Structure 1
């Protein structure tokens, strides 16, 4: 579901009971704080933003790769329009992130 038009993405969601349940039930009930990792927030993903708008979290943390200021500004505007009060950013390549465990975690 990482590629394709908005219609293709919606069709993928509708053809999978798992994705459809996440889209219709989980996203609108995410809670107070959400972390977004590896999502471009592109126009093709507007349907997901619309679901977030139904019950926006208070805080969203968004990964930024390579320090893209333009992406950060765009993402912050999108999240504020969706009703999110606080938008924070973190470097997706920093230690401790999803695919960059800290040394302490690697030793365990």
Structure 2
């Protein structure tokens, strides 16, 4: 963990995010693709006290064990807040959403 914090401090971009962005006030937080392992928890702890009242957590294929674990980690690191879970493969998740076509522009795929 100390090595990770040292790496953050040695990067202007990461240290700015760690100092200013993670500590800025917010009402809600969405976690997509986080394992919530020890390597992630310092980020949650940094956001404690920012006013987060709700957290939405993506879950891959209804993994109840992960839901139970994630709920406990969030309660431990952010305090007693409301946690919602959503299917990471569901339509409407950022990775699956299709933007509406822009009038006058051709559609193409990458």
Band of TM-score, shorter chain: 0.7 to 0.9
Which residue of structure 1 aligns with residue 30 of structure 2?
35
Which has the higher mean CA deviation after the structures are superposed, 13-22 or 85-94? 13-22
Runs of 4+ in 1 over 3 A off after TM superposition: none
- Displacement, 1:54? 3.6
Structure 1 unaligned blocks of 5 or more: 1-5
Q: 2 CA distance for matches of 1:84 and 1:98? A: 27
Secondary structure of the residue that 1:39 maps to in structure 2?
coil
Which residue of structure 2 aligns with residue 74 of structure 1?
69
- Displacement, 1:90? 0.8
Preserved contact between residue 58 and residue 86 of structure 1 (Cα < 8 Å): yes
Structure 2 unaligned blocks of 5 or more: 103-110
- Length-normalised TM-score, structure 2: 0.78
- Displacement, 1:10? 2.2
| Number of positions where the alignment pairs a residue of Structure 1 with one of Structure 2 | 101
When you count helix as a share of all residues, which structure comes out higher?
1
User: What is the aligned-residue RMSD (CA, Å)?
Assistant: 1.8
